[in-house]
Each structure stands twice: as structure tokens, then as C-alpha cells.
Structure 1
């Protein structure tokens, strides 16, 4: 990988060989020493010969930017290449010029597939036969699917309150799903302990430095898809902080390399019940590490990539907002009924955050905005029923239909 220079600690700047398995900088306790993959961009540009014509069949169009050796065959299910949809009805509702990037159309229904494809490819490159992670459901399903594709064993640690619908996927993919009687953070800590004891390859996006690199392809795609019409704002939900950090890094890279002109401001959205990154960005001293929200995919009490997420917000001149669970469910319904896009709660959270940012005067009327939906609504049908309402029961008689729609009979 001569296009990859080093793994650099985001805290102390210590550098590590990218050809070794290492998760965090050992100079710091816990997982604070998050590593950043750095590149020789001259070498990247020499390797990148794809036309920026909007034809994106998968994220591997940007292989030149990914930390994978040239002689390695990627483990792929066709992830990436998701559509950027014009959404005029929703835009009118929110008072902005709006487009939606629907990453719920990835192979297992979630943006995380971008990262998982890279990490499972790296697991094979490093000769590891077992992959693991902690997850509230989406990362578990993603890892299980790609592990099956790559012929690897998969062991997953999920909190006891993970939605059953999300656990069906990894079970069908043949993974060992271990329900931890505790929170996501406790499941996460256990997965890290197991990684050290057994030597399994850990996909946890918060600490695996190659994970964020896969996520940044959503930024590459958005840069290409909005080339000549870069939005004023790019909106992501935030859990561990990896996704918004990756999206910003990818978009910024294309701008730095003069492949596109300009960058958007980042708007990060968190649930009120899991607000650690927002609190850190706004300099709050009392940060609550307990997470509780209907948007389980971003229900993280101790985000490991807070620093990277805050840097993305700061570097882009962006902002962050908090939304309630009620606002998240309302946004899920709004997104569905105005544009036919079915999002899980975390995927609809950016829509709720955009509405909150409009009300607060952060986003101005008429601004150009791109919202990224990170997960499909089929991931959590129980919450979808809360958002959409009840089924109307009628008799099998025409009169019941006439009574409901008298003006149309």
C-alpha cells in the first residue's frame, strides 16, 4: 500500500505501520488514542483514473482512495452507488432546496456496509479467520453479511434491548449472535476484551482505523453527485461520530484535490437521549454517558470518535442540534409520506435535525441541503408503526369504504 503513509494518533501524533493490526494508540488509556489513516495523495491521484461522470456502480470506483493493497480482491456485495434523490415536496415542507442520499439501499440496508466491506477485506488481508464487533443491530447485520460473503466466521455482541428485526439478519447470515445483558457500551467493552483475548479481527467502527475510510466513500459519492452544485449543508445523524467524520473527510479530499469546487457545512444531529458529541462540540462540562433513544443506531453514551466528529463540524464551519424521540418519529413519517423514502429512526434523524436547524435560524430559507439517510425502515418496523399510526379496520363491505371516502364515491 504505497499510497498509505501511516496510522497517526489523533491525540499525540504518534505514527504506526498501516500493515499491522492495531486499533488505538497505546500511549493513552482506554480508547482515546484513535488512529487516523494518512495518505500520499500524489500516489492516490496517480492511481485514480475514473471519470467523475455520475456513473457510480459501487464504492469501489474509489478504490484508489481506499487502504487496500492492489493485489487484494475486495469482499463486496455491491455496496455504494446509492441514489441522490430530488425531494421537492419535503423541501417545500422544510423551506429549503433539498436532496436526499438514500444509503438505506445498501446491500444489508445501511450505510455501514461501506465500512464493513473495507474491514472484512482487511481481515482477509491480515489472515484473520474470525471477525467480531459490538452493535445495536445494524453493524451486526452488516458484518455478518460480509463475513458470509468472505467465508469468515462472525461473532457478534449485541445489547439486550436490540430490536429483534435487526437480529434476524445476522442470524440468517450464520453469525453467532451473543445477547449481552447490559447496554451497548457494555457490549462494546466486552467485544474489545474478547478481541484482545482471542485475536479476532474487530470491526468496531469507533476504533478500527480502516472502518472510517470505507465510510468516507459516501463523501466521495456526494462530491461527485453534486459536482457543480455543491450544497450549502450536508446533514448526518451522529452516534459514535464515525459517519459524519468519514463523510466530511471524503468530500474534503475531493475539494482539496480540485476534483470539485467547494465543500458544504456539516450539520450533525443527535437524539436528546444520546447527546455526548453535541455536548462536547458546544463545550458543555456535564456530559451524560447514559444513552436512551428510539433511534437505537445512534444510541451511544460514550462515543469513541467524538474528536473526529467535532473536527468535521469545526473544519466545515458547521453546527450540531438535538432532537427528541417524538421529533424523530415525526420525521420518519414525514419523509415517508412526502417522498416515499422509508427510513429507520436514525436514518430519519437528520430530517428532524434539519427542521430544528431551520427553526433555530441555523439553516436559512432557500439554502441548498443534502440529507443522508443511513438506514432502511425495515430495520425497525416496531418504531415505524409508532411513526405511521394504526391500521384502519373495516368490514368486507363497500359501505364501509364509502363511509370513509364519501366525497369520492
Structure 2
């Protein structure tokens, strides 16, 4: 990987060989020494010969930017290349020029597929036989799908309250799904312990430095798709912090290389029941490590990528807001009925955050905004029913239909 310079610690700046398997910087206890992949952009630009015309078949259009060997055969299901949709009805309701990047269209229904493709490709490079991660459901399904594609054994750790719909996917993909009697953070800790003891390849985006690199392709795509009309704001939900960090890194790279003229401001949105990154960014004295929210995909009490997420917010001139579970479920319904986009709660959280930002004057009327929906509503049907309401029961008689719609007839 001559285009990859090093793995650099975001805390102390220590550098490590990217060709050696390493998750964190040993100069720091626990998992606080998060590593950043650094590149030789002269080599990347020399190799990147794709037209920036908005035609994106998959994230592997940006292979020159990804930290994989030149001879590597990517493990892919066609991830990336998701649509950027105009959202005129929702935009009119919120008084902004709105577009939605629907990453729920990825192969397993979630943005995390971008990371899983890179992760499993790297697992092959490191001659791993088993891949693992902790997850509230989405990363589990994503990794299991790509593990099946790449013929790896897959062992997943999930909290006991993970939604059944999300657990069905990895089970169908043939993964071992281990329900941990505890929280996501406890499942995460156990996955890290298993990695250390058994040598399994760990996909956890919170510590695996190559995961953010896959996620940053959403930033590359957005930069390409908005060339000439870069949005004022780019809105992401935040859980561990890797997705917003990756999206910012990808967009910033294209700006630094002159592919686009400017960058958007980043708005990071968290549930008030899992607010650690928001609290750290705003320098609150008491950061709550407890996570409790209907948006299970971002229900993280101890985010491992807080530094990268806060750096993205600060460098972009952006900010972070909080929304509650009622806001999130209302946003899920609002997104569906105005634009026909079916998002899980975490995927709808940025819409709730956009509404919050408009109400509080953070985003001005008429500004241009891109919201990134990270997962499909098919991931959590129970929450979708809470958001959408109940089925109306009627008799099998036309008069019942006529009575219901008499005002319209």
C-alpha cells in the first residue's frame, strides 16, 4: 500500500506501519488511542482517473483512495452509489433547500456496508479466518453479509435488547449471533476481549482504523454529486462518531484536492438519551455515559471516536444538537409521508436534528441542506409502527369504506 503513509494516533501523533495489524495506539490505556489512516495524495491523484460526472456505480469508484492493496480482490456486494434525492415537500415544510442521501439503499440496508466491504477485504489481506464485531444490529447484519460473500466465519456480539429484525439478517447470513446479557457497551467490551484472546479480525468501527476509510466514501460521493452547488450543511446522526468523521474526511479530501470549491458545515445529531459526543463538543462538565434511546443504532454510552467526530464538527464550522425519542419517531413519520423514504429511527434522527436547528436559528431559512439517512426502516418494524400509527380495521363491506371517506366522495 504505497499510497498509505501510516496509522497515526489522534491523541499523541505516534505513527505505525499500516501493513501491520493494529487497532489502537499502545501509548494510551484502553481504547482511547484511536488511529487515523494518512495518505500520500500525490500517488492517489496520479492513480485516480475516474470522471467526476456524478455517475457512481459503487464506492469502489474511489478505490485509489481506499487503504487496500493494489492486487486485492474487493469483497463487495455493490455498496455505495446510493441516490441523492431532492426533497421538495419536506424542504418546504422546514423552509430549506433539502436533499437526502438515502444510504438505506445499500446491500444490507445500511451505510455501514461501506465500512464492512473494506473491513472484510482487509481481513483477507491479514489472512484472517474469523471476523467479529459488537453491534446493536446494523453492523452485525452488515458484517455477516460481507463475511458470507468473502467466505469468512463471522461471530457477532449483540446486546440482549437488539431488535429482532436486525438479528434475523446475520442469522440468515450464517453468522454466530451471541446475545450478551447487558448493554451495547458490555457487548463491545466482550468483543474486544475475544479479539485479544482468539485473534479474530475485529470490524468494530470504533477502533478499526480502516472502517472510517470505507465510510468516508459517502463524503466522496456527496462531494461529487454536489459539485458546483456544495450544500451549506451536511447532517449526520452520531453514535460512536465514526460516520460523521468519515463523511467529513471524504468531503474535505475532495475540497483539498480541488475537486470541489468548498466544504459544508457539519451538523451532528444525537438522541438526548445517548449524548456523549454532543456533550463533549459543547464542553459540558458532566458527560453522561448511559445510553437509552429508541434509535438503537446510535445508542452508545461510551463513544470511541469522540475525538474524530468533534474534530469534524469544529473544522467544518458546524455544531451538534440533541433530539428526544418523540422527535425521532415524528421525524421518521414525517420523512415517510412527505418524501416516501422509509428510515429506521437512527436514519431519521438527522431530520429531527434539522428541525431542531431550524427552530433554534442554527440553520437559516433557505439554506441548502443534505441529510444522510443511514439505514432503512425495515431494520426496526416495531419502532416504525410506533411512528406510523395503527392499522384501521374495517368490515369487508364497501359501505364501511364509503363511511370513512364520505367527505371526499
Question: Scaled by the length of structure 2, what TM-score is found?
Answer: 1.00
- Structure 1 equivalent of residue 323 of structure 2: 323
Q: CA deviation digits over 1:362-407, x for unaligned, max 9? A: 0000000000000000000000000000000000001101111003
**Aligned residue runs from structure 1 range 279-318, under 5 A:** 279-318=279-318
Aligned-pair CA distance for 1:285: 1.0
- Structure 2 equivalent of residue 195 of structure 1: 195
- 2-structure distance, mates of 1:44, 1:177: 38
- Structure 2 equivalent of residue 385 of structure 1: 385
- 2-structure distance, mates of 1:112, 1:84: 17
- Structure 2 equivalent of residue 274 of structure 1: 274
Aligned-pair CA distance for 1:356: 0.2
**Aligned residue runs from structure 1 range 169-248, under 5 A:** 169-248=169-248
- Structure 1 equivalent of residue 46 of structure 2: 46
Aligned-pair CA distance for 1:94: 0.7
- 1-structure distance, mates of 2:148, 2:398: 50
Q: CA deviation digits over 1:269-325, x for unaligned, max 9? A: 000000000000000010110100000000000000000000000000001000000
- Structure 2 equivalent of residue 161 of structure 1: 161
SS in 1 for 2:362: coil
- Structure 1 equivalent of residue 108 of structure 2: 108
- 2-structure distance, mates of 1:111, 1:406: 44
- 2-structure distance, mates of 1:22, 1:381: 38
- 1-structure distance, mates of 2:116, 2:143: 6
Question: Does 2:18 match 1:18?
Answer: yes
- Structure 1 equivalent of residue 29 of structure 2: 29
- Structure 2 equivalent of residue 394 of structure 1: 394
Question: Scaled by the length of structure 1, what TM-score is found?
Answer: 1.00
Aligned-pair CA distance for 1:152: 0.3
**Aligned residue runs from structure 1 range 258-273, under 5 A:** 258-273=258-273
Aligned-pair CA distance for 1:251: 0.1
Question: Does 2:145 match 1:145?
Answer: yes
SS in 2 for 1:327: helix
- Structure 2 equivalent of residue 369 of structure 1: 369
- Structure 1 equivalent of residue 357 of structure 2: 357
- Structure 1 equivalent of residue 407 of structure 2: 407
- Structure 2 equivalent of residue 71 of structure 1: 71
**Aligned residue runs from structure 1 range 79-118, under 5 A:** 79-118=79-118
SS in 2 for 1:234: strand
SS in 2 for 1:177: strand
- 2-structure distance, mates of 1:313, 1:288: 20
Aligned-pair CA distance for 1:408: 2.9
- 2-structure distance, mates of 1:35, 1:222: 24
SS in 2 for 1:99: strand
Alpha-carbon RMSD: 0.4
Q: CA deviation digits over 1:191-214, x for unaligned, max 9? A: 000000000000000000000000
- 2-structure distance, mates of 1:305, 1:336: 30
- 1-structure distance, mates of 2:267, 2:339: 21
Q: Count residues in correspondence.
A: 409
Instruction: List runs of 5+ in structure 1 lacking aligned partners.
Output: none
Instruction: List runs of 5+ in structure 2 lacking aligned partners.
Output: none
